[in-house]
Amino acid sequence: MDQSNQPKRARRRGRDLFARIKPLLDLGQTFCRALPRPVCLWLLNRFRYARGMGGIGIRFILWRRLAAACGDNVSVHESVWLRWPQFLSLGRNVSIHPLCYLDAQGCITIGNDVSIAHNVSVLSFEHDIGDLNVPIKDAPCLPRPVVIEDDVWIGAGARILGGVRIGTGSVIGAGAVVTRDVPAYSLAVGVPARPIRSRRPGAPGAAASSDTGAETA
Ligand SMILES: CC(C)(COP(=O)(O)OP(=O)(O)OC[C@H]1O[C@@H](n2cnc3c(N)ncnc32)[C@H](O)[C@@H]1OP(=O)(O)O)[C@@H](O)C(=O)NCCC(=O)NCCS
C-alpha cells in the first residue's frame, strides 16, 4: 500500500508528558529517598510487570533512587531486568523497551537520547575461562564496562557484550551481537556486528570490518 499520501500524525513525545507530571515524580522521589535501598529493590521487583504510564512512572522513580545516575525522562517498559543498578548510569531521554536485560556488574554507562528496543541484552562482565582447573560456573567474573554514547538506537534482540563502546549517533541492527567498539555515526549489523556504513552525509559507504572502521569519533 502506498503510504506516501497518508497524513503524518503529530508524534506524542514522552518528554512533554514527563514535563507535565514532573512534580508528581519529584514527590515520589522524595518519598523513595526516605525508604531503605532493599525496600526499593523489592518494590522494583513488584512493579517490574506493571504496564502503562503508571508502571513507567513508578519504575522511573525507583531507577532514579537505585542507579548511580539517572537523567530525566527515562522510560523503562515492563519486564525489564536490571542487575546491579548501583553500577548503572543513564542520561536523559532514554527508553528501554520490554524484555531487556541489563547486567551492570562491571558498569554500564548510557548517554542521552538512547533508544533500546525490546529483548536487548547489555552485559558488562565475562567469566574468566582461562583456568581449566576451575569449573566455569565457579570462575571469577571479570568486569568489562560498557559505554553507550549519546543518540544511539539499538535494534530489537541485539546483544551488547562486555567491554564495548558504542559511539555517538550509531544504529545497531536487530539481532546484532556487538563484540567490538562501534565507531560514531555508523550502522552496525550482524553476528559479530560490523559497521556497514557511516550515517554521516557524504561519507564513503560500507566498511568491511571494524578494523577498517566506518570512521572514528
Ligand atoms: C539496521 C537497520 C536500521 C538498517 O536499515 P537500512 O538502513 O534500511 O539498511 P538496509 O535495509 O539498506 O540494509 C543494508 C544491508 O544490511 C543488511 N541488514 C540490515 N539490517 C540487518 C540486520 N538487522 N542484521 C543483519 N543484516 C542486516 C541488509 O540485508 C543489507 O545487506 P545487503 O547490502 O547485503 O543486501 C534495520 O535493518 C534494522 O535492523 N532495524 C531495527 C528494527 C528494530 O529493531 N526495531 C525495533 C523497534 S524500535
Domains and CATH numbers, the chain: 14-216 (2.160.10.10)
Alpha carbon nearest to ligand 1 atom 2, residue: 173
Transcribe 90-105 into DSSP letters.
Answer: E-SSEEE-TT-EEE-T
Q: Which tens digits make up the pLDDT trace of 178-192?
A: 999 999 999 999 999
Distance 6 CA to ligand 1 centre (A): 24
Among candidate residues 40, 32, 44, 43, the one with its CA nearest the CA of residue 81: 44
Distance 7 CA to ligand 1 centre (A): 26
Alpha carbon nearest to ligand 1 atom 15, residue: 196
Q: Which tens digits make up the pLDDT trace of 91-145?
A: 999 999 999 999 999 999 999 999 999 999 999 999 988 889 999 989 999 999 9
Does the annotation mark 77 as catalytic? no
**Residue 88 in grid coordinates:** 548503572
- 150-170 as b/e, with b when 16 or more CB fall inside 10 Å? bbbbbbebbbbbbbbbbbbbb
Pocket of ligand 1 (CB under 6 A): 117, 155-156, 171, 173-175, 187, 189-190, 196
Determine the atom of ligand 1 nearest the C-alpha atom of 158.
44
Testing ligand 1's pocket by substitution, the residue of 189, 197, 198, 199 carrying the most ligand atoms inside 8 A of its CB is: 189
Omega of the bond prior to 192 within 30 degrees of 0, cis?
A: yes
Alpha carbon distance 103, 22 (integer Å)? 28
Q: Which tens digits make up the pLDDT trace of 136-174?
A: 989 999 999 999 999 999 999 999 999 999 999 999 999
Alpha carbon distance 197, 186 (integer Å)? 6
Residue type, 93: N
Among candidate residues 159, 157, 158, 147, the one with its CA nearest the CA of residue 184: 147
- Contact of 123 with 85, CB cutoff 8 Å: no
